[in-house]
């Protein structure tokens, strides 16, 4: 199934895509959002970035066939390096930046990528297939303590200790190389009384390993200030996140950027000298409508936050 872009109208509205300008799609994937941005105004140009070389090759061919390559630049890279990438393509400040985090349906449905626990495949989970760290190296090489911490911190999984111990015991017998091996190991660590809902545990552990393999939270944290710097005055930043760990990082960054002073409350006067650089546009987080979640269940956990540079 093709990747359906989530919160599409909301994204275009918050990006101010009707106005015409230069936009960055930091997670361009199948190009759903990119195409919609281009169609909003004839003068729009989009720089699309993705770590996944295969997705970019496919998109490039489609954009060329559709006569859209003149208005787009595609770069294989990490959105966390947006400053260097903008320099590389000769763009200075931009009018809007979008991040639609996580993985695409194309990646999930390709069992050779190892993102899905529903189909058997190699334990991979890399967006960037040229990097060495993969789910296989995390599962087979990390210390028991590191596995426990990752499963707790990135998967918010409370059976982290049992699951880490089961992984360590299994890998002593035989290297863990496939998603189905990992699924069985996780299942075996879930007490039999609650094993009927082990898919929840499996989903959380897969999420944790994927976040670790791709350094997802580190990338997001380091990208946000660079993205605000890259915006022109009145430029917009729109972030769509899919789990609470990402959303918390976005929310805390937005709140702190919008504040005039970040001195501890007990300080009688401001010593930090910080002034607000942005205005938050989404006082309440934006979620998909019932209509959208029915048509595209992937949109259900999506949360959109947007800001405007002063
Ligand atoms: C949810 S998909 C984006 C889908 C896209 N908005 C569309 O409508 O087709 C997320 C994409 O971000 C890419 N990605 C994840 N982390 C990245 C990073 N740090 N830098 C660049 N791309 C990244 C993934 O490879 C994936 O293709």
Q: How confident is the model at residue 31 (pLDDT cuts 50, 70, 90)?
A: very high
Output the pLDDT for position 2: 80
Both 129 and 210 in one domain: the answer is yes
**CB hemisphere CA count around 223 (13 angstroms):** 29
Atom of ligand 1 nearest to the CA of 214: 16
Both 129 and 63 in one domain: the answer is no
Output the domain CATH number for residue 150: 1.10.150.170
Q: Is 42 part of any domain? A: yes
Helix axes 32-40, 8-15, angle to 10 degrees: 50
Instruction: List, for residues 143-185, the tens digit of each pLDDT value.
Output: 999 999 999 999 999 999 999 999 999 999 999 999 999 999 9
- Residue 79 CA to ligand 1 center (angstroms) comes to 9
Both 259 and 243 in one domain: the answer is yes
Say if ligand 1 is within 6 A of residue 30 CB: yes
Q: Mean pLDDT score of the chain, rounded to an integer?
A: 97
What is the residue range of 258's domain? 8-106+216-309
**Residue 107 is labelled as binding a ligand:** yes
Instruction: Return d(Cα 271, Cα 274) in angstroms, integer.
Output: 8
Say if ligand 1 is within 6 A of residue 80 CB: yes
Q: How confident is the model at residue 234 (pLDDT cuts 50, 70, 90)?
A: very high
β-bridge mates for residue 178, sequence order: 122
Both 179 and 228 in one domain: the answer is no
200 in the Ramachandran plot: left (φ > 0), alpha (ψ -120 to 50) or beta? alpha
Say if ligand 1 is within 6 A of residue 31 CB: yes
**Residue 155 is labelled as binding a ligand:** no
Instruction: List, for residues 186-231, the tens digit of each pLDDT value.
Output: 999 999 999 999 999 999 999 999 999 999 999 999 999 999 999 9
Say if ligand 1 is within 6 A of residue 5 CB: yes
**Residue 154 is labelled as binding a ligand:** no
Instruction: Return d(Cα 122, Cα 157) in angstroms, integer.
Output: 23
β-bridge mates for residue 240, sequence order: 100, 304
Does the pLDDT of residue 1 top 80, yes or no?
no
- Residue 302 CA to ligand 1 center (angstroms) comes to 14
**pTM, whole model, 2 decimals?**
0.96
- Of 155, 179, 214, the position where a domain reaches its end is 214
């Amino acid at each position: 199934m093709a990747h359906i872009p989530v919160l599409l109208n909301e994204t275009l509205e918050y990006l101010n895509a009707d106005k015409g300008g230069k936009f960055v799609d930091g997670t361009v994937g199948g190009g759903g959002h990119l195409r919609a941005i281009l169609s909003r105004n004839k003068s729009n140009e989009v720089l699309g970035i993705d770590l996944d070389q295969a997705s970019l090759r496919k998109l490039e061919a489609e954009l060329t066939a559709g006569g859209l390559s003149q208005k787009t630049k595609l770069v294989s890279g990490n959105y966390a390096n947006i400053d260097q990438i903008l320099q590389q393509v000769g763009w200075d400040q931009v009018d809007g930046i979008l991040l639609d985090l996580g993985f695409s349906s194309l990646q999930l449905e390709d069992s050779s990528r190892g993102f899905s626990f529903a189909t058997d495949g190699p334990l991979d989970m890399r967006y960037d297939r040229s990097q060495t760290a993969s789910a296989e190296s995390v599962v087979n090489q990390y210390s028991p303590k590191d596995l426990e911490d990752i499963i707790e911190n990135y998967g918010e999984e409370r059976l982290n200790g049992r699951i880490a111990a089961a992984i360590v015991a299994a890998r002593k017998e035989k290297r863990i190389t496939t998603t189905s091996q990992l699924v069985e190991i996780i299942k075996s660590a879930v007490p039999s009384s609650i094993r009927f809902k082990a898919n929840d545990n499996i989903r959380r552990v897969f999420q944790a390993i994927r976040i670790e393999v791709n350094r997802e939270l580190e990338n997001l944290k380091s990208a946000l200030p660079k993205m605000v710097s890259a915006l022109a005055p009145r430029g917009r930043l729109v972030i769509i996140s899919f789990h609470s760990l990402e959303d918390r990082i976005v929310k805390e960054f937005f709140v702190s950027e919008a504040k005039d002073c970040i001195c501890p409350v007990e300080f009688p006067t401001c010593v930090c000298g910080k002034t607000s650089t942005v205005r938050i546009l989404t006082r309440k987080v934006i979620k998909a409508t019932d209509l959208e979640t029915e048509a595209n269940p992937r949109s259900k956990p999506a949360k959109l936050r947007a800001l405007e540079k002063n």
